[in-house]
Structure 1
Amino acid sequence: MSAKSLPFFLCGALLILAAEPIRSQQRAEDKPLVLKGATIIDGLENSPISEGLIVIEQDRIKTLGRKGAAYPPDANVVDVSGKFIIPGLVDSHVHYQPWLGEMFLNYGVTSVMIPGGDYSTADREASYQSSARMPRIFATGGRPAIQPGMSRDQVRAAVQDWFRNKKPDYANPSVYNEGNAEVYRWAAEDLHEAGLVWFGHTENAPESIKGGQDVIEHLWGFAEALMSPKELEGFQKGEYLHWGLFLKDQRRIDQMIKDAVAKDVYLNPTLMYEMGSGSSLARKFQTELRSLFQNEILMSYFPKNLADGAVFKLQAARNFSRRYENLVAFSLLPPADRKQFDEAYKLSGQLLKKWVAAGGKIMAGTDDPSSGFAGLTLHMEMEMLVESGLTPMEALKSATG
C-alpha cells in the first residue's frame, strides 16, 4: 500500500484513543457531544466526508453530517480538524481466544465473527456489555447436525433445533461437497427462512452458490471447480504445489463471478492466511511482527509457538504437494517451484480484482490467531487487497461491515 493511502487505515485509532475521556465528559455534563471538522469515512459511501460532523447523545451516534449541519446549541464541541474517523473494523474470520480481546481493540477491530465449532457462547454474551474489553462477537454456536442421507424433514428439524438452542448469529456448516449437496441445499432454505446467512468452506464454489451459499470462505472453492476430474484427483493426492495455479481459465472465471454477483454472494479470501508470504509486503509485515514480539509484556501471555509461526509463515509457502511439508521455507525451494507459488498469488489477485470490478462484495477476514497478530493482521489483509487491485476505500469497506 502506498504512503498516500495509509491515513485511511491508521487514523481511525485517533477516535479510539480519545473515546474514554470524551465519554466521561459527556456523562458528567449530560450534554450532546459534537465531533467537528474531521474527514469521516462511514464504510458505506465511496467518498469520504470532508470536514464532517458527528453528534453523539448518550453514547450513541445520533447524526452524521457535513460541514454546516445543525447540532444542539448546548452541545460540547470538540474540534477534530485534520483527523480521520472511521468505523470500528470487523474481522469476519476469527478463531477467538479470550486473551485476544484487547489486542483486537488496540488495532481498531471492534467486531469479530467466529465460524464453526462448538464454540461457547459465554464470550459472546460478555462482549455485549459496554464495559467489556473485547470486540463484539458474532458466533455460530456450533453447527446444525446435518448429514448426507437425511430426509428433508430431518434436515429441517436439525436446523430448527440448532437455531432454537444455540441462538446463532449466522451459519457455518462443514465443507460443501458433492456428497452433501442435497442436504446443504435444503439446509440453506431453512437458514434463509430463519434470516441467517450461510458462511463456509466449499469444494465447488459455483455449485454451492447455486445451492444457497451466501459467503464463500477462501478462494480454493473456485480453483477446484476449474480442475478437470483428473486434475482434482491429482491435487487431492498432492501432485500440485498450489490450487491457485488453476485460476487460469478467464472465460469460466468471468462466468463464475457473474453468477455469484447476481446472487449477491460475498467472498472471504483470507489472503494473509493463505498467501501472506507471496505479497511484496511480506518483508515489511515480518519486520512489524518481529518488533511486536520483542515486547516482554506481550510475550508474557502470547504463545511463543504462535509468534514464531507467524514470523516463519511470512518466509514460507503454504504448500499442497506431497513433495514438501505443509509450510516450506522459500529458501528450500528451487527457482521453478518458487515461480509457481508467485504465479498462484498473482492469479488469486486477478480473480479478486475482477470480482470487485463486476460488483462483487468482499468480507475481509484473517483466520487469526493462526495467521499472525490479532488486529494488526486485518490491516495487513487490507493492504494485500489493495495490492491485488482494490482501491484503499474498497479494502476499507470490506473490513467495516
Structure 2
Amino acid sequence: MVHISQPLQRNRMNDQIPMPDGVYPLNGDDTQTTGPTGGSLSANNYHASKELVYPDFRVWKHTPKDDTLMRNHLQKGYYEPPMVSNECHSGRQIIYQLFHKNSSSSTSPDGSGGNMSAQENIENTVKSKLTLLSDVMIKTLTKRQEINRVTSRSTYKPPPRVTLTDHKRELWLNNLADTNVSLKQLSRAIPHGLRNRTLLEQCMKHKVPIQRTLWLIRCVSANEQRQLMRKQSTVGITGNNYNNNSTNKWVMEWTEQLTMFVENVIDSCFKPENKDTWKFKLNYTVELVGNIYSEELMFRETFLSWVVSYFSKIVDKENVTVFDFKTLSIYHVILRLFWFKVISIDYLSKELSESLLLLIAKLQELPKNPKTDNLVKDY
C-alpha cells in the first residue's frame, strides 16, 4: 500500500494540488509565510488560504464543473459544434425548390395563364428564373471585370543594358539561375550582348528556370524595339506603318534565331560529347519553345512553317541515312507538341502530309530490318 504524505493528503481532501517544489509564487514568500495570527505557515498550507500567482502557469483547482465535463466527454465523446447549422448540406435542393416554385405572376406568353397545364407552367417558371439568374451572373462578372481593370498608365520601364566583363556577366547569369535572388535586384541592369541565339544558349548553359528566361527575353526584346524606334527618330523617319514594319522585321529575325537554336540542339543530341547532357538540353528546349509559343513571343506561323520545312528537308534527301532517322525521332517530339497547330493551317498540313507519305515510301524501300519495321509501324 502506498503511503501518502500528510500535507499532500490534506490538500487532496481540500480538492487542491500541492505547490510544485522549487517554484515560488510572485505574491508570496519563498518557503515560510506568516499566517493571519502571526504564526508560521508552510507554503502548502498558505496555498489554501490565499490565491497565489505563479510565473508562466496557473495552478489547477478542482471544481464540480470539471466532473460534469469529464463525464460527458468520456461517455459521449467530444466534438466541436459547427459554426453554421447547414454547412455540410448541399444547396442543390434549395435551388431546385426555388426554381420549381410556382409564382403567382407566371402566365403564358399569350396572357392566358389559366389554359396552361401544370407541367408547362413549371417549365416556363424554371426558364424565366434561369434567364434571370443568367442575367444576374453576367452583370456580376461584367462589373467584376470593370472593377479589376487597370485604368492607370503603366510606369514600367525595361531595365537598361550595361557592358560587363566576362566574369561579371557569368556572375549575373548565375544569380539569374538562382531563385533566391529576386528579379527586382537583377532588373537594375542586364548585360549587353545577350541577344538572339546567344541569349538562349547562355540560359540553357546556366540552367536558368523557364520563367526567368522568359522574363529576360521580354526585357531584351523591349530594349531592342526601343533602340529601333530611337534610330528611326534620329534619322527622321516617322509613321506608325514604318514602326510596325521594323518591329515585325525584328520579331521575324528573332523567330529565325529561335529555330536555328532548336536545330542546333537537335543536331547535337547524338554527339559523343553530349552523351550526359543531351536529355536535359532537349527537355529544356522543348519546354522553353512551348512557353515562348504560348506567350506569343514569336511569329507563330513562321515557327510552324519551320517545323514543317525542317521535316521536309530531312525527308527530301536522296539517301536517308540512319543518322537522319535518329534526328527524325527527336524531331517527332516537337512535331507532336505542335501537331494540332500545324494541321489547322491548310498549306502547312498539305506539305506535312506529303512529307510523311514520302517518308513511309522511303522506309518501305529499305531492306528488311526489325529496326526499320518498327519505324514504319510508328509512322
TM-score scaled by length of structure 2? 0.24
- Relative to total residues, which structure has the larger strand share, 1 or 2? 1
- Relative to total residues, which structure has the larger helix share, 1 or 2? 2
CA radius of gyration, larger in: 2
